[in-house]
Amino acid sequence: MKVRVKFFAILRERAGTGEVMQELSEGATVNELWQALQKAFPKLNVPGIRMLYAVNQNYVGANDTLHDGDEVVFIPPVSGGCPR
């Protein structure tokens, strides 16, 4: 199966592209996709970064299963700003 991955912000810069189609085996999880992407784009490994995951524009867990045609986005920390 194939999924569409979109990169934004720091991940877009590190991947050097905003979008990639990734081939995965059936039943692959979000986390397995991330492992595959890190092999394809070694610079995606940002030390200490904590991310959220979105599939088809909804937040999901790292162990959720992907399906053919899914749009997956890895969400690094959002604009945050000061907590005060």
Task: Catalog residues that contact other proteins under the rule CB under 8 A.
Answer: 6, 8-10, 12, 46-52, 54, 57, 59, 73, 75-81
Instruction: Give the residue from 73, 70, 72, 74 showing the smallest Cα distance to 45.
Output: 74
Nearer Cβ to other proteins (40/49): 49
In this structure, the number of other CB atoms found within 10 A of the CB of residue 23 comes to 9
Residue 49: CB minimum distance to other proteins, A = 6
Nearer Cβ to other proteins (21/78): 78
Residue 12: CB minimum distance to other proteins, A = 8
Tokens found for residue 30: 């979000």
- State the number of CA atoms in the 13 A half-sphere of 15 facing the CB: 21
Nearer Cβ to other proteins (28/53): 53
Residue 25: CB minimum distance to other proteins, A = 26
